[in-house]
């Protein structure tokens, strides 16, 4: 298995944890945060990407560093959306995202998981369209919304993988 990649269905910790969700793009990177119980994800912010996966990972690593010194420093894992075709095969972007994931794990020292991101942009657009009519404003929000969908999918899969005695602990 590639360094920094783990099976998203296997919980990495059984205590309270917090995750950062990432929707990687060549121009913009959407970020989302989970609550401290790793139950709910919410859109957080969008950052401008950099040229190439390693430089883009450095941008996110800087955000992680800022989060670690903030008043709310807990971060136990990162989840990055992995682009796949509808039939499950890799897209042209999948190898680039895998490079991003590896670099992000190296730069932050935090475990980085991946989560299938098929159709998350479509779902994010539909969610935002109900709240915001102006497509220009939606465009500024879509990446963070997509990151929150990826992260919520991961959190839900993680919760399903927990033994029954730990689901409501």
Of residues 27, 121, 11, the one with CA closest to residue 77: 11
Q: Whole-prediction pTM value?
A: 0.79
Look at residue 20 in the predicted model and tell me its pLDDT: 95
Look at residue 7 in the predicted model and tell me its pLDDT: 44
What are the pLDDT digits (tens) for 41-77? 999 999 999 889 999 999 999 999 988 887 666 788 9
Domain ranges (residues) in the chain:
19-166
Look at residue 70 in the predicted model and tell me its pLDDT: 76
- CB-based burial, 33-72: b 16+ in 10 Å, e otherwise: bbeeebeebebbebbebeeebeebbeebbebbeebeeeee
> Domain 19-166 is of which CATH architecture?
2-Layer Sandwich (3.30)
């Amino acid at each position: 298995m590639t360094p920094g990649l783990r099976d998203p269905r296997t919980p990495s910790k059984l205590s309270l944890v917090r995750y950062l969700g990432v929707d990687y793009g060549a121009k913009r990177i959407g970020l989302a945060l989970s609550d401290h119980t790793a139950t709910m994800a919410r859109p957080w912010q969008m950052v401008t990407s950099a040229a190439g996966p390693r430089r883009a990972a450095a941008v996110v690593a800087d955000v992680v560093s800022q989060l670690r010194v903030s008043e709310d420093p807990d971060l136990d894992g990162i989840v990055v959306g992995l682009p796949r075709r509808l039939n499950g095969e890799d897209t042209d972007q999948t190898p680039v995202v895998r490079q991003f994931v590896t670099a992000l794990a190296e730069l932050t020292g935090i475990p980085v998981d991946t989560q299938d991101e098929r159709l998350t942009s479509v779902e994010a657009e539909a969610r935002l369209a109900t709240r915001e009519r102006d497509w220009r404003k939606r465009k500024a929000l879509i990446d963070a919304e997509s990151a929150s969908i990826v992260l919520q999918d991961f959190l839900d899969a993680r919760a399903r993988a927990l033994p029954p005695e730990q689901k409501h602990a």
